[in-house]
Structure 1
Amino acid sequence: MSSSVESDLLNKQWKTFLFPTMIKSSDLLTLFLKVGLAISTIFLITHFFYLSLTYNQPQQNYDQIAFKQMFQLRSPKTLNIESVEEPTNISHILFGIGGSTSTWHTRRYYSELWWQPNTTRGFVWLDKEPPKNETWPETSPSFKVSGDTSSFKYTCWYGSRSAIRIARIIKESFELGLDNVRWFVMGDDDTVFFTHNLVTVLSKYDHNQMYYIGGNSESVEQDVIHFYTMAYGGGGFAISYPLAAELVKILDGCIDRYSDFYGSDQKIQSCISEIGVQITKEPGFHQVDIRGNPYGLLAAHPVAPLVSLHHLDYVDPIFPNMTRVDSVKKLITAYESDPGRTVQQSFCYDHTRNWSVSVSWGYSAELFPFLPTAKDLEMASKTFKTWRTWSDGPFTFNTRAVKNDPCENSLTYFMDRVDDLGRGLTRSSYKRYNDVTWKDCERSDFAPALAVQYINVSAPLLMPHTWKEAPRRQCCEIINHGDGDNKVIEVHIRGCHRFESVSPR
């Protein structure tokens, strides 16, 4: 009985103390909101004073302190916040150029076309010291002499032992221990690199990963003999620092294991295959394993930056009526105006006159007095033969035949000049090439096309970031559709619209 009375008394006191019956639910909600606002205000004021005290501390220290204090109860691990690396540039590339004292005095002119003293880094690796009475040109890369390779095996009966020395350039370059190297790029003394585009290509890849980047031969017969999985050395290839660090550990023993292989690039690829790294193919590296006229290759370049050209002494000059070196100099004048757009193909139709125009920017233009399909226009005209047997093919890309009937072929124009118009625009001019060995079409409907002497092309600069997007050939439009001066065609190159396609009627 007494316990029942005590219980009733306690319940009355509890209800009276904690939950007064006179407090409404709406008043209780208001009270909670006021308390929450007060807590938030106190937190913000405290945080403001904290930021004021730490404002002058280095950003990295602040981040570490803030994270440690905010999360030390939840996560006892220290957070390591690394600084963001700068984008890859030319200073991060170390070139290793395979040369010899017997060839350098003639081939150095190709290297000097792209080498920039105090900007590009690397060395020409020679088989022996150059003659003491000769002064090494200041315009050439510095040289180093390769180590002795007489103890290595070489059993390829039709090759040269120099392949061992050239293969070891990557190892000797790595062992120099130079700072800030992300990529080792190998090439020959007759390789011309387009370094802005090389940087653009390598920037797409994480240099902290193991990468082996390059291109194949253009001639199938060469790829069958020397592997499709190989980056050809004359066209140049790039090896990231982490891969080089692994490769140099096994390279010397590996060279002996593949003593029967012909070339240095074969040996390098075989050793990389033991590490398990695969080639990453970039179509802008050009071995130029062709003979004859390289025109068709450059006039229908793949949609990729032009990175390198090799074997230029074994093909016709890329511009007619010029020496080989001077013709490359002329291409470089266009390249310096707009590196990323160099030899990039665009084509468009003039449906008023039933004409087609194809432009390989900075190199050539073609006028077709008819309407080929886009597929025909993007294929290289077969102006060349295979490297080994001088055959009509096969090649590693599609080609179209040069017809015997001049009425079924295009009219050719070569780059005359490139002008900088300012505001990120260029204007390039292409002049009609009259081949005295080639007969013009005598049909009357061909006469208006034969009257065209120049094709002028305006275009915006092609920014490097474009190559980080999905590759797409840029579009163009013919400005003067039969009006004005009939000796000049005006073309404008631009990015394609969203749903635009190039289709003849």
Structure 2
Amino acid sequence: MSKQDKSNVLSICKKMLICCLFLYMCTIIFLNNSNLLSTSQTRTSSKIVAQTNISHLVFGLLGNERAWHHRKHYVEAWWRPNVTRGHIFLDVPPRGDLLPWSLNSPPYRISDDIRKLVKETNHVDPRVLRMVHGIMEVVRQAHEGVRWVILGDDDTIFFVDNMVDILAQYDHTKYYYFGGHSEFILSNYWYSFNQGFGGAGIMLSYPLAREFAHNVMSCLKRYAHLKSSDRTTMVCVADLGVNLTPLQGIHQIDLRGDISGFLSYHPKSLLTSLHHYDTVDPIFPSMTRAQAGFHLQKAARYDQSRMLQQTICHHRSKSWTFSVSWGYSAHIYEKIMPRSWIQRPIVTFRTWQTSPRLPQYMFDVRGPSWNPCEAPRVFFFKSVEKTQRGEIVTTYTRGWPRGIGACLSSGNFSAEYVSDIYIDKCECCDVIHEEGSIRADIKYRECKINELIA
């Protein structure tokens, strides 16, 4: 081969090498762009996943036909026809004044044949079997798009928007078991400190509920000796590798009598449920239980996120302390009181069962006082409205005369003549009150540094 030919071949090789390098670089750039595009598309698609909303929740309420005649009003106070999803499961078909079935109630289903299930599992308690097996029946009725399964009783008031806000913080594709403890410490001791008390509501992510349903019969056979549905549910879930995540706003209400002292000192956590509505006094004076349930939901329709949450503020010119349970009550103390003391509920209620053991409750309490400087003047929620400026204003009216005189230790500024309190919508607030006026206005705002200590 001549030198000229060799030169031509070398030139051609160089050109081919350059072309190969060029094609290689183009390929690298193209693949990188494809990966970036793929990553971008993945991120975009993940953003498309809808935030958890009310349509992603399905309720399974356990009831019986006899009690539903009056308990339906409790459920209808919070149920939203054609919005809330789920069913009330009755023991027998509805009769009498339950027909035709109310459109304001959840649609009903009849529980599976318990006698057949008892025979199959040898379970010692048909009621327990029905409640636990009911979880499978709820899952069986669930439709596409369900992320969370809510189980509860028909004597419970639920706050669905708050449930949605809580559950939206969690990955519904994972296993979660949410519930609440009993307020009565012995109930937790007798059953378990690790169980969710089901009447107040337990919340299962759909994958966990589906797995529970798949294993429910074997679990009922395995624990056929247990006489508590909540404990059975707990151990069945635990056998799937999941433990309880307790939530503060789920209230079993294992209390008796007047629970206004408990409701008026609610911590700053989202209110989720109030159970045992049948076994306590009506929560508003001069109302039936059904009326009180609807009345409480009036405020909830405007802002569930603040329901019952306690706010404490001071009117220092008159040495008054205000404690507000938003949407429920307001208390005036005729003395500047420490927040740490005001945050403890007043024992207006009785224990769930008589017991000489102490302590009785799962929370700090203080006894009622006849000292006019320590006993509050009590006001209850009356009405709510939204102003033209978009502010939500709640009104509270006096519940009853206190009848023990005024507090004289801090200037003799009596609140006896105040009959109404107006509150617009955090822990601190300004009190506007003119001398002799029957009205006091409270405006919430952020705390200042020098206000954090009373």
Whether the TM-score (by the shorter chain) exceeds 0.5 is yes
State the shift of 1:281 in Å: 1.3
Rounded Cα–Cα distance in structure 2 between residues aligned with 1:73 and 1:478? 57
Match status 1:426 vs 2:376 = no
SS in structure 2 of the partner of residue 431 of structure 1: strand
Aligned to 1:107: 71
Aligned to 1:295: 260
SS in structure 2 of the partner of residue 150 of structure 1: helix
Cα distance per residue 1:134-171 (max 9 Å; x no partner): 3222211111112222323333xxxx522211111221
C-alpha root-mean-square deviation of aligned residues, in Å? 2.7
Contact 1:385–1:393 under 8 Å retained in 2: no
State the shift of 1:311 in Å: 0.7
Contact 2:423–2:443 under 8 Å retained in 1: yes
State the shift of 1:433 in Å: 2.0
Rounded Cα–Cα distance in structure 1 between residues aligned with 2:35 and 2:270? 52
Aligned to 1:477: 429
Aligned to 1:223: 188
Match of 1:199 among 141, 164, 180: 164
Match status 1:488 vs 2:439 = yes
The two structures have a TM-score, normalised by structure 1, of 0.77
Match of 2:375 among 406, 409, 414: 409
Match status 1:70 vs 2:32 = yes
Change (3 A) 1:390 1:108: farther
State the shift of 1:324 in Å: 1.0
Contact 1:344–1:360 under 8 Å retained in 2: yes
Rounded Cα–Cα distance in structure 2 between residues aligned with 1:177 and 1:89? 16
Contact 1:218–1:290 under 8 Å retained in 2: yes
Change (3 A) 1:70 1:487: same
Aligned to 1:153: 122
State the shift of 1:120 in Å: 0.7
Q: Kindly report which structure 2 residues correspond to 1:252-401, keeping only aligned pairs within 5 A, or say none.
A: 252-389=217-354, 393-401=359-367
AA matched with 1:102: R
Contact 1:114–1:192 under 8 Å retained in 2: yes
Contact 2:315–2:431 under 8 Å retained in 1: no
Change (3 A) 1:176 1:488: closer
AA matched with 1:400: R
Match status 1:87 vs 2:54 = no
Rounded Cα–Cα distance in structure 2 between residues aligned with 1:67 and 1:237? 53
Aligned to 2:21: none
SS in structure 2 of the partner of residue 199 of structure 1: helix
SS in structure 1 of the partner of residue 239 of structure 2: helix
Match of 1:122 among 86, 103, 107: 86
Contact 1:363–1:415 under 8 Å retained in 2: yes
Contact 1:213–1:281 under 8 Å retained in 2: yes
* Structure 1 segments (4+ residues) deviating >4 Å: 71-81, 390-393, 442-447
State the shift of 1:198 in Å: 1.1
Rounded Cα–Cα distance in structure 1 between residues aligned with 2:232 and 2:418? 52
Match of 1:450 among 416, 428, 437: 416
Contact 1:222–1:388 under 8 Å retained in 2: no
State the shift of 1:129 in Å: 2.3
Change (3 A) 1:284 1:67: farther
AA matched with 2:415: A
Structure 2 gaps of 5+ residues are 1-25
Deviates more, 1:77-86 or 1:306-315: 77-86
Contact 1:298–1:360 under 8 Å retained in 2: yes
Contact 1:476–1:491 under 8 Å retained in 2: no
Cα distance per residue 1:3-57 (max 9 Å; x no partner): xxxxxxxxxxxxxxxxxxxxxxxxxxxxxxxxxxxxxxxxxxxx9xxxxxxxxxx
Structure exhibiting the larger radius of gyration computed from Cα positions: 1
Aligned to 1:27: none
Rounded Cα–Cα distance in structure 1 between residues aligned with 2:142 and 2:35? 44
Deviates more, 1:96-105 or 1:183-192: 96-105
Cα distance per residue 1:39-78 (max 9 Å; x no partner): xxxxxxxx9xxxxxxxxxxxxxxxxxx9974357999999
State the shift of 1:88 in Å: 0.5
Contact 1:96–1:170 under 8 Å retained in 2: yes
How many residues are treated as equivalent by the alignment?
A: 418
Change (3 A) 1:362 1:443: closer
Rounded Cα–Cα distance in structure 2 between residues aligned with 1:207 and 1:501? 41
Change (3 A) 1:255 1:406: farther
Cα distance per residue 1:431-464 (max 9 Å; x no partner): 12225xx5322565556221222221111xxxxx
Rounded Cα–Cα distance in structure 2 between residues aligned with 1:138 and 1:491? 40
SS in structure 2 of the partner of residue 317 of structure 1: coil
AA matched with 1:503: I
Match of 1:97 among 58, 61, 64: 61
SS in structure 2 of the partner of residue 136 of structure 1: coil
Deviates more, 1:389-398 or 1:265-274: 389-398
Percent of aligned positions with the same letter in both sequences? 32
SS in structure 1 of the partner of residue 266 of structure 2: coil
